[in-house]
Structure 1
């Protein structure tokens, strides 16, 4: 395995643009740095930089190696910051913005377990289905589902959430069980309005690509818990994240249908602003959330 020093020396050389400046940073002489780069090129069998008296220019191979060297540098930096952060006082507040489903299901237990470990950290959780401006509104992180349009934030994937179509046994006794997505037009399909495809557009697997089926029903809501209750009362079918109804499916109070045809699956992420000095308490909290979601994979 190649020494981390090779990556770090190369990173500083390109960042500083000269052998002398890089040598000062890494604590070596200019000649030693030059010899290390020459040896690196010989061992790799490629030229990494073009040397002139005025500047250093990366070759195509050099661009590739530099991208990896940069990752190594930031990994080392993050590791050092994490270790130094262990001496921080684990107190204060973590502000988190969370969509309703997450806030009502997995997170309460996760937060309770975290608070048992770190009782002096206060968790301030705001339940809101809108995409908040994390920085402007002073949040440390947000839980988000699906597409992530803003690349200026770091995203930690917590879990993939599969969606299901289900209804109560007495509903199926009255109205029958749909065998194909096209049969849904004959059913009362209750709509969850908080989804990007639209309340009445249900997503299914197609021959070549996913397709939508337009459904109709006599109830629409942006509250997932209300939608679940309507399904339990036998009002109609719902298309919702499996985690919302996992216990109901297990108990048999709701029954899943069209299992092989349903196509919707969305990632759930912890989103936070990029910072080289992220508080250790936030890092610990995000890692704790990941472990909690992973322990409940069967519900997703």
Structure 2
């Protein structure tokens, strides 16, 4: 019984050192971890050395150039990560009892929504909460939240990863549109099937294929294969090509909402386009999502809903 008690006491006493060890492995630097925790390099070194002495194994191989994790260290790191995560969740669980929101969030957002509203919305949230910082990347690729270290991702599309939590914000309807100039020169297609005779500008960032355009039919949705002389993975470039009268484009409605309202582009099939994708706030699975993430998502959601008619 005495051995069990002493072992439990050792585990409880070393929780802070385990968290510190996990940070050293993740950052690969004693000095970086010392800076993050307002400690000196020597203190960090002594605490890791003490952990090694207590466990009776070498966890890290240290040279003047780099740190290498031993096999025992790799095993311990897996458990240390859980200790670190549990501590963060415990703090986050009670952070809502105070009014101050602080900390740092690394997030990724799609380029269209980033330009349209998210850059402003997130910057506004930071301004409302001094001490809160955000590193926001505009990227259309489906980033790996865990591998790339993201706390929050805003994404449009179909989500299948069960290890992530996804909160639906709203749906984004796609449109098929062209400039009056293009229609004047080439005629307006009356039914979707006539698109095969037109120059169709293609958005390469599509999981279903840039030339596969989806429509609503009497027997359900169907795909029409189109072709054209211009394809791009940049939505802003696609919009400019359409505004220039160079072809018919297939893109999210929010990107060209004002252009359609002002008559710069014509919505050719307003009730027949079948592509409609959900916009989600996605974050790694935890038992208790952090207060700062919950509040940031709610702020972002409110900004989306304020202009839901764009979508």
Q: How does the TM-score come out when normalised to structure 2?
A: 0.68
| Cα offsets for 1:78-109 (capped at 9, x unmatched) | 9x976652327422211111122122212122
| Cα offsets for 1:147-184 (capped at 9, x unmatched) | 10101111111110000001111111111111101000
Aligned partner of residue 96 in structure 1, secondary structure: strand
Residue among 244, 268, 281 paired with 1:233: 244
Aligned partner of residue 130 in structure 1, secondary structure: coil
Structure 1, gaps ≥5 residues long: 1-77
Distance in 2 of aligned mates of 1:89 and 1:135:
27
On the 8 A contact 1:169/1:234 being kept in 2, the answer is yes
Find the counterpart in structure 1 of residue 224 from structure 2. Answer: 213
On the 8 A contact 2:100/2:129 being kept in 1, the answer is no
Q: Does 1:127 align with 2:107?
A: no
Aligned partner of residue 190 in structure 2, secondary structure: coil
Q: Which moved more, 1:129-138 or 1:175-184?
A: 129-138
For 1:80-95, what aligned pairs fall within 5 Å after superposition?
A: 84-87=95-98, 89-95=100-106
On the 8 A contact 1:165/1:239 being kept in 2, the answer is yes
Residue among 92, 100, 108 paired with 1:97: 108
On the 8 A contact 2:154/2:282 being kept in 1, the answer is yes
On the 8 A contact 2:173/2:275 being kept in 1, the answer is yes
Q: Does 1:290 align with 2:292?
A: no
For 1:1-300, what aligned pairs fall within 5 Å after superposition?
A: 84-87=95-98, 89-300=100-311
Find the counterpart in structure 2 of residue 6 from structure 1. Answer: none
Distance in 2 of aligned mates of 1:171 and 1:95:
42
Distance in 2 of aligned mates of 1:296 and 1:146:
19
Distance in 2 of aligned mates of 1:163 and 1:185:
19
Distance in 2 of aligned mates of 1:113 and 1:84:
21
Matched positions, count? 222
Find the counterpart in structure 1 of residue 76 from structure 2. Answer: none
Distance in 2 of aligned mates of 1:131 and 1:271:
11
Distance in 1 of aligned mates of 2:135 and 2:291:
17
Distance in 1 of aligned mates of 2:193 and 2:236:
27
Structure 2, gaps ≥5 residues long: 1-88
Q: How does the TM-score come out when normalised to structure 1?
A: 0.70
CA RMSD of aligned residues (A): 1.8
| Cα offsets for 1:241-261 (capped at 9, x unmatched) | 000101111111111001121
Q: Give, in angstroms, the shift of residue 277 of structure 1.
A: 3.7
Distance in 1 of aligned mates of 2:148 and 2:119:
22
